[in-house]
A and B are shown apart, each in its own frame.
Chain A
Amino acid sequence: MLAAFTGRFPSLVGRAGALMNIVVLMKQVPDTEGARTLDPADNTVDRGAVDPVINYIDEFAIEEGLLLREAHDGDVTLLTVGPDRATESIRKALSMGVDKAVHVSDPVLHGSDAIQTTKVLAAALGTLEWDVVVAGSEATDSRMSVVPAMLAEVLEVPQLSQARKVTVDGDSVSIERLSSDGYDVVRGRLPAVISVVEKINEPRYPSFKGIMAAKSKPVKTLTVADLDLDAEEFGLAAASTEVVEFAVAPPRQAGQVVVDEGDGGVKIAEFLASRKLV
C-alpha cells in the first residue's frame, strides 16, 4: 500500500487575489509515426528506436495550463518523470510559454509502472505549491489512461477527468467530461487533478521569442533520493506488472478487393451474409 500523502496544498481558498499555481504533467513518448517496439533486453519501451516527442495529448494539457494562467494569473510549472533525454521535450514546453519545469530523472526509475510513476508524481508535487494539476487523458505509448485517476486517488483530491472544457471560478472547477453519447458536467473544488482530451483547445506553436526565453527558464532536476523515496520500490524489478514476452503481430491477411460494377453494395451484403455477420 502507498504511504499517506504528506505534500502541501496551499490553495486559493481564503486567499483572495492569490495567484493560481498550475502544474502540467508531461510524458515524453516515442513518436507514433515511427516503428515503435519494445526492447528485447527487458521488454520495456524501446526509447531509442524512434524519436521521442511530447505525448500528443499533453500538448493540449500544456495549452490548457497556459489558458488558465492567462485567465486567472499565476504560473505554470511543467512536471515530468523520464530519462535525461526528456530535456528536449521540456524545452519545447518552456518555449510554448510554460514558466518553469521540474524533471524527475533517475536511472532507478527505468521500467516503472503507472503506480510507481504516480507515486513519484505525488512526491514531486509535494515539493511544489499547486492549486491544480492538468494532465493529458492518455499517453500514446501505454494508452492506459490511468495516471490522472491514480493521482487523484493518492492525493485525495477531486478527479475531473476526460475534460473537453474547463472552467475555474474562485476555488470551484467545472468540466465537461466526454461521455459515449455527449458529456457530463462535473464539479469539484481546488486543489484538483484535471485531465483533458485532445481538441479541448488549439495548442500554440512556440514563437521565436518563446524559444529564446525558454533557454533561461529554470528547470529543476530531482532524483528519487531528492524526493525521500526508497529506490527499492521503483523501477522494473519492483513494478507491479510485467511484460513476459512480446512479438511483432502478424500482418493482417488482405482479403478480396473488387471494383464496383454497379453492384458493389449488394456484393458487400452477400459477403456479410456468407460470414453470417448479418
Chain B
Amino acid sequence: MATVLVLVDAAGDVVKKTTLELLTAARSLGEPGAVVLGPGQAAALSAVLAEYGAATIYAVAGAEFDQYLVAPKAEALAAVAAQATPAAVLVSSTPENKEIAARLAIKLGSGVLTDAVAVNADGSVEQSIFGGSITVTSKVRTGVPVIAVRPNSITPEPAATPGTAEVVEVDVPLSDAAKAATVVEHVSEDKGARPALSDASIVVSGGRGIGTAENFRIIEQLADTLGAAVGASRAVVDAGWVPHQMQVGQTGVTVSPQLYIAVGISGAIQHRAGMQTSKTIIAINKDPEAPIFELADYGVVGDLFTVAPQLTDELAKRKE
C-alpha cells in the first residue's frame, strides 16, 4: 500500500490533535508515514502515532529547525518524500504549515491545496470558500498531492489495528538557502497557556458589545473555564482592545472548532466568513435582530454582562 506522509505537530511530548486528524485521513488514502522533525521526539511520540496507524515514523533529528524560518522543514519533508515516494503529503492548515506546503510543492513539482475540510478516498478534497458560502471539490493534477487540512475538520479515530511505527532515521543536511531567514527570538504575549486559535477545539470570541478592553476579561474567564482559545471580532481589534492575531474573520484567522461561542458579536459578513463552519455555534447578544442568531444552534438574547459570567459560573460548578 502506498505511503501517505503526515507532518507531525507536537507540543513537547504530546502529539497535537490536528496530527491525529491527519493520520485518520491518511488511513483512507494509504499507509500513514509520520514525519517527526526535531531531536529526540520520535521515541516519545511513537506510541500515539502507532495507535493512530503510523506504519513508519520518519525521524529527522536536526536540531536547527527552530533556528530558521520554515524553509528547513520544507527541505526535510522533501527529503523524506524522495525516500518514501508517497501518494500524498498531509499537513494541518496552520499559517506556518501552509508556507511549508507551499515550498514543498515547488520542490516536488506538485500541486498544493490548502484548507481542505475533508479528504476523499480518491485523493480529492472538499473546501469551503468565499467565507463558507461555496463548497468545492478540488484535486491535484500534477505530482504528489500536497494537502493542508483545516484543523477540527476530521474526527480523529484510533486505527482498528495499530501501526508498527517503525522508526526510520533520515539525515537531512540543510542547504545554505534554507538558512536564509534566522529566527532570532520568540516572544510570547499571551498571559495564560491558552490553545492556539487556529486549531482549538473550542473558541470563545468577544465583540463590540464588550465595550472596553478591561471587560474583555469576561471573555477570557469563560474561555479558561472551557479550556478554549480566545478570539475577537474586527471591531474589537480595530479598537485596540486585543492584539490582531486574535481576529477571527474574512481577514484574520479562520476557525472551525467543535464549539464557537460568540459574545457581544453582531455577526457581520466579515466575522461570519471566519467562523461559520464551526460545528456548534452559541451566541449571546442583546439585539434580537443580530445576524449571528441566524447561524447559532443556541442563542440567548440578553445582557452579556450577566449571561456570560453566569455561564462561566455554571460551567465551573459542573466541573466540580
Contacts and interface: CB of A to CB of B under 8 A. Distances in A.
A179 interface: yes
Given A32-B250, A185-B183, A268 B276 contact: no
B314 A56 contact: no
Interface in B76-101: 94-95, 98-101
Nearest to B278: A252
B245 interface: yes
A248 interface: yes
Nearest to A270: B314
B239 to A, nearest CB: 12
A198 B138 contact: no
B142 interface: yes
Interface string A161-187: 110100000000010111111111111
A178 B251 contact: no
Given A257-B288, A269-B315, A273-B318, A153 B69 contact: no
B213 to A, nearest CB: 16
A36 B276 CA distance: 16
Contacts of B256: none
Contacts of B138: 241-244
A254 B293 CA distance: 7
Main secondary structure of the interface of B (DSSP, over half): mixed
A266 B313 CA distance: 9
Contacts of A192: 180-181
A56 B251 contact: yes
Interface string A5-42: 00000000000000000000000000011011110000
Interface residues of B, number: 98
A77 interface: no
B184 A185 contact: yes
B314 A244 contact: no
A222 interface: no
Interface string A129-160: 00000000010110111111110111011111
A271 B261 CA distance: 12
16 contacts: A113-B111, A145-B99, A159-B99, A159-B103, A162-B95, A164-B244, A180-B198, A185-B183, A244-B136, A246-B134, A246-B136, A249-B135, A254-B296, A257-B283, A265-B311, A267-B300
Q: Which 9 pairs of residues, A with B, have the shortest CB-CB distance? A: A260-B302, A265-B310, A240-B111, A146-B102, A265-B311, A180-B196, A182-B189, A240-B142, A255-B297
Given A37-B133, A144-B115, A265-B309, 15 more contacts: A32-B131, A35-B133, A115-B106, A181-B194, A182-B190, A184-B183, A243-B136, A247-B135, A249-B128, A251-B294, A254-B293, A255-B298, A264-B302, A264-B307, A265-B308
Interface of B: 69-71, 74, 94-95, 98-103, 105-107, 109-115, 124, 128-143, 177, 180-190, 194, 196-198, 202, 226, 237, 244-245, 250-252, 254, 258-259, 269-270, 273, 276, 280-284, 288, 293-303, 306-315, 318
Interface of A: 1-2, 32-33, 35-38, 43, 56-57, 113-115, 118, 138, 140-141, 143-150, 152-154, 156-162, 164, 174, 176-189, 192, 197-199, 239-249, 251-252, 254-260, 262-269, 271-273, 275, 277-278
